[in-house]
């Protein structure tokens, strides 16, 4: 029989060591409840285990972490700030909330779904533990969704899209509240960032008179896949998007055989020309701006079918509705006259 560690004594704010004990107890109880067939209790215990680590990190940053909305915001912000951890915990947190915590009150999920939630948290706990030792990273608010998350956890309603912090908007990693810097050079353009938001094209550069083209759709799509819902891309997908032969063959990129993505450390300039947009996606990637007008419809068709493959492979995953809206945006684009 699995031993459950004793519950720590009550305290207004449990210290990290005690929260780790609670997490270990909750996940073991979740497994026991699952084995006994009590799926409601099993799912709730799995969520409770994951929450303890979110609270450890939130407390270290001076963030709010009482409500479900605040806890969800902590988890999603961590996914954006530490993209290399995303595949290890982002989906597990979403499943634990919807298939575990939410289901405890609604009883909508079957045994298989709850088991997936429990196993997901079991697999994710080492990654969440590792995040408790990570230092906050520089972060820029690039979307309304990111802004809402940070307002929820920091309580700072003066934040705006475009604000940056060298310490991930932590309130405790500098003597004073984190310095907010306005980026006056890069205008904000709203992008797709939530399943409730419609996919809207980004505005073209000021001064142009051309009708909306393919580039805004590409930028919106990459924002969703690299920043808002990075779990929709596998590691193979990322490698493919960095490979110029794949991008030329599958996506129809023509000029110079540039890959759709380029690592930040490799820079934007190729042969003396800026071939990639200035924005750094997820702190790691540039996206190519080389989309020849005469190939736009060809590229859009390729991207439409590429998105369809992503949708098929990500059934039931968070962000799928947004991805489907992107596909509809490309379909609408293809319906325009040549």
Residue 33: closest CA among 92, 152, 115, 149: 115
Write the pLDDT tens digit of every residue in 127-164: 999 999 888 999 999 999 999 999 999 999 899 999 99
What integer pLDDT is reported at residue 114 of this predicted model?
95
CB count within 10 Å of CB 338 equals 4
**SS3 letters across 74-129:** HHHHHHHHCHHHHHHHHHHHHHHHHHHHHHHHHCCCCHHHHHHHHHHHHHHHHHHH
Return the axis-axis angle of helices 214-223 and 296-313, rounded to nearest 10°: 20
Which 8-state DSSP code applies to residue 228?
A: I
Q: Reduced to 3 states, what is the DSSP secondary structure of residue 164?
A: strand
Please say if the pLDDT value at position 85 is more than 80.
Answer: yes
Residue 178: pLDDT band by 50, 70, 90 thresholds? very low
CA atoms of 4 and 26, how far apart (whole Å): 8
- pTM of the predicted protein model: 0.53
**Residue spans per domain, the chain:** 16-131, 136-188, 214-334
What integer pLDDT is reported at residue 195 of this predicted model?
38
Write the pLDDT tens digit of every residue in 15-53: 899 999 999 999 999 999 999 999 999 999 999 999 999
Question: Rounded mean pLDDT of 215-221?
Answer: 90
Residue 215: closest CA among 288, 275, 270: 288
**Beta strand extents in the chain (DSSP E only):** 139-140, 164-165, 261-263, 269-270, 273-274, 285-287
Report, at the CATH architecture level, how domain 16-131 is classified: Up-down Bundle (1.20)
Residue 123: pLDDT band by 50, 70, 90 thresholds? very high
The C-alpha angle 43, 66, 26, rounded to 5 degrees, equals 30
CA atoms of 57 and 131, how far apart (whole Å): 8
């Amino acid at each position: 029989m699995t031993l459950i560690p004793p519950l720590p004594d009550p305290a207004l704010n449990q210290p990290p060591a005690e929260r780790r004990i609670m997490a270990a107890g909750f996940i073991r109880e979740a497994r026991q409840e699952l084995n006994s067939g009590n799926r409601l209790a099993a799912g709730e215990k799995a969520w409770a285990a994951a929450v303890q680590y979110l609270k450890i990190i939130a407390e270290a940053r001076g963030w709010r972490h009482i409500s479900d909305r605040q806890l969800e915001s902590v988890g999603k912000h961590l996914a954006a700030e530490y993209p290399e951890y995303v595949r290890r915990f982002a989906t597990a947190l979403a499943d634990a909330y919807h298939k575990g915590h939410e289901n405890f009150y609604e009883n909508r999920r079957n045994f298989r779904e709850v088991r997936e939630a429990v196993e997901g948290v079991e697999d994710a706990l080492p990654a969440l533990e590792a995040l408790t030792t990570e230092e906050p990273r520089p972060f820029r608010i690039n979307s309304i969704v990111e802004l809402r998350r940070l307002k929820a956890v920091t309580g700072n309603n003066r934040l705006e899209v475009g604000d940056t912090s060298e310490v991930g908007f932590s309130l405790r990693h500098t003597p004073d509240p984190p310095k907010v810097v306005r980026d006056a050079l890069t205008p904000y353009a709203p992008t797709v960032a939530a399943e409730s938001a419609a996919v809207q094209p980004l505005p073209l550069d000021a001064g142009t008179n051309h009708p909306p083209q393919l580039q805004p759709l590409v930028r919106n799509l990459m924002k969703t896949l690299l920043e808002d819902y990075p779990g929709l891309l596998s590691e193979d997908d990322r490698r493919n998007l960095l490979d110029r032969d794949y991008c030329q063959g599958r996506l129809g990129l023509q000029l110079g055989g540039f890959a759709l993505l380029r690592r930040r450390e490799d820079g934007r300039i190729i042969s003396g020309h800026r071939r990639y947009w200035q924005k750094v996606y997820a702190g790691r990637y540039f996206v190519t701006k080389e989309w020849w007008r005469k190939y736009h419809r060809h590229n859009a068709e390729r991207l439409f079918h590429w998105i369809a493959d992503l949708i098929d492979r990500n059934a039931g995953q968070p962000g799928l509705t947004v991805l489907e809206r992107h596909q509809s945006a490309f379909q609408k684009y293809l319906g325009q006259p040549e």
